[in-house]
Structure 1
Amino acid sequence: MLVSVNPELQGRTLPPTEPYLVGREKVREFARAVFATNPMHLDPDAAAESGHPDIIAPTTFPVVVQEKALAQLLAEPDAGIDFSRVVHGNQRFSYSRAIVAGDELTATLTVSSVKTLGAHAMVTADTVIVDANGDHVVTAISTLVVRGDE
């Protein structure tokens, strides 16, 4: 079987996700899970000393918000992405500001690239995450490798 990822996904922008309210305890749980020990991730006073209104999320936290946007992509009827064959190939973040507990974030995913490499495909998605005012917070860039049969 060759990979059946639809090359016409490239350039497609999906609808914005429902807003995600960043909770203080979720940030703390995530920080503990990824062994992020900076006090700004756990203690509001430490965050305030650094000029933040509440605790800040570790730099990889946007994957929590991006997950809903990626789920939309995987659910696209014509995508041709078999999730059982997906391996996460790469993840990057481009920040305008830190994510802070209390933020209400919305994610909009655009497929920036679909490439076929032999029996495999690589799908790169840029997920722009904005706050309740529509201001950019972070863009999460993911590359999914969809394995095909060789």
Structure 2
Amino acid sequence: MAINRDFLGREYPAPEPYEVTRVKIREFVEAIQDPNPIYTDTAVARAAGYTDVVAPPTFPIIMGMEGAGQAIVDPELRLDFSMVVHREQRFEYSRPLEAGDLVHCVTRISDIKALGGNELMTLDSEMSTVEGEHIVTARNTIVVRGGAEDAEH
């Protein structure tokens, strides 16, 4: 069954702000095995011009997962997750995430379209401080293999 086009524009706000901490950054850095000291050493980060350690560029994946998860499991969306593959992930930064940031995240279904017999769905996760300063937009596009065939009938 094709993805429900009525979901285009629907938003999924995180229930509470996400606190970016040194511990969470360190755990992420260990998982991706990136030895850059600006991620783990406050003195090095401050010498580089930051107020505290910075999160790696792909860290926002963590914050966008909750909203994306809410969308994907909604039965009315009619997304067959068994047919999903990841297509693309992009990040558009206004500034780096730093330890101490308290971040509000809203994930929006920004695009649904058919392409080559498949369906593509794009989710944009807007991340801002609780004061409203934009930090980053994480854009995630998934492919539902064969889904467009159902959309055409």
The TM-score with structure 2 as length reference comes to: 0.88
Q: Which runs of 5+ in 2 are unaligned?
A: none
Moved over 4 A (4+): none
Match of 1:129 in 2: 127
| Pairing of 1:18-33 with structure 2 (within 5 A) | 18-33=16-31
> How far apart are the structure 1 equivalents of 2:81 and 2:105?
21
Deviation at 1:4, TM superposition (A): 2.2
Say which SS state the counterpart of residue 78 (structure 1) adopts: helix
Is the CA contact (8 Å cut-off) linking 2:14 and 2:66 kept in structure 1? no
Which has more helix, going by share of residues? 2
Is 1:141 the counterpart of 2:142 in the alignment? no
Cα deviation, residue 147, structure 1: 2.1
Alignment partner of 1:56: what SS?
coil
What letter corresponds to residue 66 of structure 2 in structure 1? K
Unaligned 5+ runs, structure 1: none
Q: Over aligned residues, Cα RMSD in angstroms?
A: 1.7
Aligned pair count reads 148
When structure 1 is superposed on structure 2, of 90-99 and 102-111 the one drifting more is 102-111
- What TM-score does the superposition give when structure 1 sets the normalisation length? 0.89
Q: Is the 8 A contact 2:95 2:135 kept in 1?
A: yes
Q: Which moved more, 1:60-69 or 1:102-111?
A: 102-111
Identity %: 40
How many angstroms apart in 2 are the aligned matches of 1:25 and 1:16?
A: 21
Work out the CA distance in 2 between the residues paired with 1:83 and 1:26: 28
